[in-house]
Amino acid sequence: LAKTTQPISMDSYEGQEVNITCSHNNIATNDYITWYQQFPSQGPRFIIQGYKTKVTNEVASLFIPADRKSSTLSLPRVSLSDTAVYYCLVGDIDYGGSQGNLIFGKGTKLSVKP
């Protein structure tokens, strides 16, 4: 399983765009990149997933360069409610066989200030 590296913490202000970059140098051909969000006292929540180029949904955008050795989660115009821990995970999402787990690191603690 590919290891990921992301900043421990980030600060931002309401209304700003926040970009969190994750490094995954050993990503495998079958691996997808997935981001989760976790609020205090809650389980993580799936945000976005991608394989290459750019993916956008109603919550965030995910930018993946051609070499796929890193990815950037972009949160447009953050609000106080976006204060949370964000996890970057890399792994094969088709776990039918001996695979079956994703590794959650410590994540990036995003603090949004007024």
Partner 1 sequence: NAGVTQTPKFQVLKTGQSMTLQCAQDMNHNSMYWYRQDPGMGLRLIYYSASEGTTDKGEVPNGYNVSRLNKREFSLRLESAAPSQTSVYFCASHLTHREFNYGYTFGSGTRLTVV
Q: Which residues bind partner 1 (CB under 8 A)?
A: 32, 34, 36, 41-46, 49, 87, 93-107
Min dist. Cβ of residue 12 to partner 1 (A): 21
Residue 57 CB contacts under 8 Å (≥ 6 apart), including other chains? 47, 48
Q: Closest Cα partner for 35 from 6, 1, 78, 77?
A: 6
Task: Pick the closer one to partner 1 by CB: 32 or 110.
Answer: 32
What SS3 state is found at 57?
coil
Task: Pick the closer one to partner 1 by CB: 100 or 114.
Answer: 100
Q: Where are any strands of DSSP class E within the chain?
A: 9-13, 18-23, 32-38, 45-50, 53-56, 61-64, 70-75, 84-91, 108-113
Task: Pick the closer one to partner 1 by CB: 81 or 98.
Answer: 98
Q: Closest Cα partner for 83 from 113, 44, 104?
A: 113
Min dist. Cβ of residue 79 to partner 1 (A): 22
Min dist. Cβ of residue 72 to partner 1 (A): 18
Min dist. Cβ of residue 15 to partner 1 (A): 28
Task: Pick the closer one to partner 1 by CB: 16 or 21.
Answer: 21
